[in-house]
Structure 1
């Protein structure tokens, strides 16, 4: 086990969080998700597989919640018919498939899998199906996602206070934007080595690439598309909070800067994700404006809709050179993407994943056995039709949850639940566009647990939860507050 600097720091922070208010551990967990390519330690026994900083801190968060609230609410989050029950079934199915399917179909088909070498970066090769360290690591990540969901649910159900979530999202968004700016500055000043401590995972790193003369922003992630995936989630959450007038000034600024970061990230994933999320936000804003006159910020939305075509017409007329450069850039990033080396490689991944699905008679090769360039094909090639259907049920149950304000849910909590749904959909949008593995990251499960906790009826008396919330708010006030 090779510990990294951030790994030691994570252990120190984790131990300290055990003695701090439980809300601190939850906030730190959310903030830690920004370290997308920072290994806490590497495991030579698994070919140099990396355990990331957020995965390590998850253990401390789970222990802190257990010490604070016990096991009752943890198991309640996994009870039927909550989304956690479906996720539990999916995780158990994934575990069984990872153990048996690679051996059952060994040599029957070929899959794209990661081959790790200690001291070097991971590479993806086409190999005959066999049990490998990928089955172990993806299973561990799946179990980690289940744990993250259950303990997030437990924390928010007992505290019934979304303040820590909002503050942590703002902190992680600002941190993400700060690291993005540092990524650009260090690249053009030739001081990239200053950020090397953030890129210690045993991944193939594409942190020094350009596209159309622009630096491909990777921030704390291994490549631009991963940065875009994470930033799109944060943009969706903060934009939704802004629409609901939650800490309007700060959420509006952060959402705007995140939008700019996505546009200049030079990631096709970012553009496709925005094409899915922006209409959703506009529709929600207009719907709320009809229900609540003055709500939903209709003036801004209308101005945005009017401004876009005016900008499109203004640039070609008054700035023809910029229009030409933008046209070439858009053609390179989107229209000609399929003809690029990267596009052809990704197409091959999908073709092989689909062939794996067929060769295994629709059962899948087992969790972690195959990679693709779309989460839909990841599900089909790894978990087959059954796993894909279970995942679809989990998504559906999560998204149909009622986010309207009720007696036991504050207006702010309802806004957080709606914002979490937008972030949840953003994660799915990018995953189905370019997701390569089953693991969707801890933020995905934090959002799912948040939605489940803030939208289902309380298992205890509302008065008890209200008292818990007041106690928690008093702790925050004593420590200087989070607002």
Structure 2
């Protein structure tokens, strides 16, 4: 029974690998909600758990980069300062610190182990988690480069957006199954999808309510997965809704994602929801009153205003008529957010972060290597793992990406850049609150890939325009646009 989900996944993965259709793009997002499923038997991997999405990401990288043009694109991305040089330098430092620092500072630095007892610090020592976390980071970086090549094609961008909606729908469905398992005997049907070797917190309650985790390891990871889908879809709504996905389906998905963000009872997800609401309002004002805004970005402004106005009015009316109806909601928000600073979990996570930060200081700013220590803060996770220099390279790369602009002729690319910029802050803040690894993850890797793809396409179009100006009789060539068949990710 436990082998069936694994066989189904590998059947779909092999189909995507050898199909000329963009199956792997859809599978990339569709597998994200299965964060507790081991795609390979743990005995084969020395007890390490490899979930489906990183394997799909590797297959996408293999199909899009494993040819001459792909290799050239990888080399150009790694060496060009305008693309991914800073990311490549960050990876080199991560490899160096991970392979050598746990041995150089063996027993001399205190850390919080990634796996095992987390309520006390231990001396630094090499562990299998150094290799596994470095492998995950390497896969994330390869995913950035792979999507940076694949998504230069507008048709592939639309497949990716459809895949985004598919992943969101599956996340909602798995959340519904987990929620229903407390009322119907369907829990045994979910067990074959929970084969990861790390701890799975499946039956945790807060104020008498079950924390919904879907098929993720814990409630916070499920809530933040839903928040990630929700955030990017909210800022792509004026392009996706109607053009890519039916408007009614799209709006229903947004509402259900909000619901399951709430049912996850994750304090970091609640903070992300509040921040997302504020940013969505700011983005609406920017689209309504900003200068030089294209029609694609201003579509649906009136409908969005009246939907928001109607929703807020309905909530206020119910609050005035039946104020007690909101008591469970306010109690949950107070318990999970406002009282969080007084909880044992908050104190424990602060201890993780403090110990990890001290480990960076004790190594003279070099870092202890990826997978050596477990903070509860994404910035400290990077800083303690790769040191000051590696942190400067990584966040320099992020700032450089967010500063990119699409070519004036690439209207869809301009929408994608705008959406990723607006979506960055909620995801970054949530990671700042709970991030435990220097690996930025595959969902963020997809967003980085979008920005690299748009920036690379802009470079290509500018070069083509310069050639046309220099020689009007020449035909434009798009050598940096590698996808001849839009349905084929092999290039």
Q: TM-score surpassing 0.5?
A: yes
Quote the residue 1:205 is aligned against: 200
Post-superposition CA distance 1:161-204 (Å, at most 9, x none):
41111111111111111111111111332432211122211121
Contact 2:405 2:414 in 1 (8 A): no
1:338 aligns with 2:337: no
Where in structure 2 are the equivalents of 1:32-181 lying within 5 Å?
32-44=31-43, 48-66=47-65, 70-115=70-115, 126-157=121-152, 161-181=156-176
Contact 1:78 1:84 in 2 (8 A): yes
Could you say if the C-alpha distance between residues 256 and 202 of structure 1 is closer, same or farther in structure 2, counting changes exceeding 3 Å? Answer: same
What's the secondary structure of 1:350's corresponding residue?
helix
Quote the residue 2:263 is aligned against: 264
Deviation at 1:299, TM superposition (A): 3.3
Range moving further from structure 2, 280-289 or 445-454 = 280-289
Contact 1:365 1:382 in 2 (8 A): yes
Contact 2:73 2:149 in 1 (8 A): yes
Deviation at 1:316, TM superposition (A): 4.9
Deviation at 1:51, TM superposition (A): 1.0
State the alpha-carbon separation in 1 of the partners of residues 405 and 143 from structure 2: 22
TM-score (norm 1): 0.87
Post-superposition CA distance 1:383-436 (Å, at most 9, x none):
222222122112101111114x622x2x33432333334444443222111111
1:299 aligns with 2:294: no
Deviation at 1:332, TM superposition (A): 1.0
Deviation at 1:213, TM superposition (A): 3.0
Deviation at 1:314, TM superposition (A): 4.2
Quote the residue 1:192 is aligned against: 187
Contact 1:285 1:297 in 2 (8 A): no
Where in structure 2 are the equivalents of 1:68-467 lying within 5 Å?
70-115=70-115, 126-157=121-152, 161-244=156-239, 246-247=241-242, 248-290=247-289, 291=291, 292=293, 295=298, 297-300=300-303, 302-303=305-306, 306=309, 310=313, 313-403=316-406, 406-407=408-409, 409=410, 411-456=411-456, 457-459=458-460, 461=464
Quote the residue 1:119 is aligned against: none
What's the secondary structure of 2:366's corresponding residue?
coil
Could you say if the C-alpha distance between residues 278 and 398 of structure 1 is closer, same or farther in structure 2, counting changes exceeding 3 Å? Answer: farther
State the alpha-carbon separation in 1 of the partners of residues 118 and 38 from structure 2: 17
Where in structure 2 are the equivalents of 1:5-20 lying within 5 Å?
5-20=4-19
Could you say if the C-alpha distance between residues 5 and 46 of structure 1 is closer, same or farther in structure 2, counting changes exceeding 3 Å? Answer: same
Post-superposition CA distance 1:49-102 (Å, at most 9, x none):
111111222232222223575423333333412342221111111010001111
State the alpha-carbon separation in 1 of the partners of residues 155 and 319 from structure 2: 52
Deviation at 1:359, TM superposition (A): 2.1
Contact 1:112 1:126 in 2 (8 A): yes
**Structure 1 residues not aligned, in runs of 5+:** 117-121, 477-483
Quote the residue 1:472 is aligned against: 486
Could you say if the C-alpha distance between residues 270 and 230 of structure 1 is closer, same or farther in structure 2, counting changes exceeding 3 Å? Answer: same
Contact 1:238 1:254 in 2 (8 A): no
State the alpha-carbon separation in 2 of the partners of residues 335 and 310 from structure 1: 25
Range moving further from structure 2, 457-466 or 38-47 = 457-466
What's the secondary structure of 1:71's corresponding residue?
helix
Cα RMSD after superposing both structures: 3.0
State the alpha-carbon separation in 1 of the partners of residues 154 and 260 from structure 2: 34
What's the secondary structure of 2:287's corresponding residue?
helix
The answer to which structure, 1 or 2, has the higher relative contact order (CA under 8 A, 6+ apart) is: 2
State the alpha-carbon separation in 2 of the partners of residues 370 and 83 from structure 1: 30
Matched length: 465
Contact 1:7 1:40 in 2 (8 A): yes
